[in-house]
Structure 1
Amino acid sequence: MKRSDMPHPVRVTFIQANLPVSPVPAIPEILLHTAGPASGLWRLAGREEADPAPYWAYPWAGGAVLARHLLDRPEVAAGRRVLDLGAGSGLVAIAAAKAGAAAVTAVDVDANAIAAIGLNAAINGVDIVAVAADIIEAPPPEETDLLVVGDLFYDHALALRAMAFLRRCQSAGIEVLIGDPERAYLPQAQLKRIATHAVAEFGAGSSGGMVQAGVFSLS
C-alpha cells in the first residue's frame, strides 16, 4: 500500500505505535509524537518521487522558534484567528492555541502530517482544524488575522512561491510571521528580525542540536 493510499485510521495507529510522545527541546510546554531511529517511517513514506518527505515527524528550528515566541508573548496570538502554513507536526499551531488564539487552522500538503497534528493537538489539550492542501497559489485565506510559517525556505523554487503568497497575504491585511534558522533561501533583505531564540534543530549535531533561530516579519 502506498502512503497516499493509506487510510487515515491506519496513519493514526502507526504514529501512536511508533512515534513516542516527548517534550519539544527548549519548549517543554508542548508534547509531540516524534520519530526516533526505530520508528520505521519508511512504512508511511510513499514510493513516488512526488510524495513529501516526513518533515512532520521532527521539530524543526523554524517552527520551534515561532512556538517559543508565541508562548513567551501570548498577546501576539491571543484572540486572533491564526493559520499555520506548512504546519508539519502542528507545533506552531499548538503554541498559538495555548497562547489563546480564537481559532487555529493548520495546513500541510502531507496527509501524514494532518494525522499527526490531530494526535498532537489532543495530547496538548487544544483544538486545531487541520487541512491537507497546498494553498500558496490560492488567494489569501479568509478569516485569518495572523499567518505563521516555519521552515519553508529550504528550497529555492518553494521559497519564491511562498514569498509571493506571503506578500499577497500582507496586502490583504494579514500579519505574517516567519520562523527560520537562516536557511539558504530565506530572503532576509525582505524581512525584519523581531526575535531570536536558541532552539533545537534536527540534524544540527555539530552544535549540540541547538541553533540561534529568528522570528521575522515582512518589511
Structure 2
Amino acid sequence: MKTDPDRFILENTSVLSPPHVPEIRLHLASEVHDLWLKTEADLEAIGLPPPFWAFAWAGGQGLARYVLDHPETVRGKRVLDFASGSGLVAIAAAMAGATQVLAADIDPWAGGAVRLNAALNGVTIEFFSEDLIGRSPDVDVILAGDVFYDSDFARALIAWFGSMTKAGCLVLVGDPGRSYRPTEHLEPLATYQVPVTRVLEDSEIKKTTVWRFL
C-alpha cells in the first residue's frame, strides 16, 4: 500500500457532524464519486469498493440516535458494532456508557477511520478486522446499521443474528428500508426521518427504523 491510510483519510475528508447525530464528529467525505476515484488512483487498484467508512449512512445514523437517546440499552455492557464503517454507532455506544466497545469491519480502511473518529470524540474503541459472522463474540449487545443490502449477506446475517439472540445477546439493527431486510424477524423500536445526501441515496430524507432482532 503506497498511501498512508491515516494521511489519506485526513486529506480527503472533513470533520463534520452527521445531521441526525450532531453530538458526534466524524471524518466524512462530501462526494462519494470523487473520493472513490482518488482511492483507486492512490492504490492503483481497479474496482476498489466505495469507501463506506467515509459516509454516515441512514441506518447507522438512526441506530446511533437510538443508542444516545436510550443509553440503558448499552450502559455497563460489552457492545459490538458490526460492519462499523466510520465507527459512528460504536462511538455512540461508548458515549452512552458501554464498558467495552468493539468495532468490526473487514474493510482495511475502516480501522484507521474508526481510530481517528474515536479520537475526535474522546472515546476508546477496539477494532477487529476479521469476519465475525458465525462466530460467538463475547458481547452483550450487537449493533448493526445498514446491513441488509445484499441477499447472500442478509441470509448469513439472519442465521448469525438468530443464533446470537438465542444465546442471550441483544441484537439491534438500523435500517432505512433496504431490499433484503427480514421484517419477519424484526420488532420495531423507533422510527426516524434521517437527512442523507442524494449522492448516496434516492432521496434527501430516509425513513429509518431501529429494530430488535427476534
TM beyond 0.5: yes
Separation of aligned partners in 2, 1:148 and 1:189: 18
Counterparts of 1:172-183 in structure 2, within 5 Å, are 172-183=167-178
Does structure 1 residue 28 correspond to structure 2 residue 25?
A: no
Counterparts of 1:194-205 in structure 2, within 5 Å, are 194-203=189-198
Match of 2:137 in 1: 141
Counterparts of 1:84-99 in structure 2, within 5 Å, are 84-99=81-96
Asked if the contact 1:60–1:202 (Cα under 8 Å) also holds between the matched residues in 2, the reply is no
Separation of aligned partners in 2, 1:148 and 1:135: 13
Match of 1:40 in 2: 35
- Pick aligned residue for 1:80 from 43, 54, 77: 77
SS of alignment partner, residue 64 of structure 1: helix
Report how far residue 131 of structure 1 moved: 1.4
Separation of aligned partners in 1, 2:151 and 2:202: 25
- Pick aligned residue for 2:5 from 7, 11, 25: 11
Q: 1:127 and 1:6, CA in 2 relative to 1: closer, same or farther beyond 3 A? A: farther
Separation of aligned partners in 1, 2:201 and 2:64: 22
Counterparts of 1:156-175 in structure 2, within 5 Å, are 156-175=151-170
Does structure 1 residue 188 correspond to structure 2 residue 210?
A: no
> How does the TM-score come out when normalised to structure 2?
0.91
After superposition, the C-alpha distances for 1:114-160 in whole angstroms (9 at most, x for unaligned) are 11000000001100001111111x32212x00000011100111110
Question: Which segment drifts farther, 161-170 or 94-103?
Answer: 161-170
SS of alignment partner, residue 44 of structure 1: helix
Separation of aligned partners in 2, 1:167 and 1:40: 36
Identity over aligned residues, as a percent? 41
Separation of aligned partners in 1, 2:205 and 2:92: 20
Does structure 1 residue 65 correspond to structure 2 residue 62?
A: yes
Separation of aligned partners in 1, 2:100 and 2:16: 25
Separation of aligned partners in 1, 2:13 and 2:54: 8
Any stretches of 5+ residues in structure 2 without a counterpart? Answer: none
SS of alignment partner, residue 176 of structure 1: strand
Does structure 1 residue 122 correspond to structure 2 residue 116?
A: no
> How does the TM-score come out when normalised to structure 1?
0.89
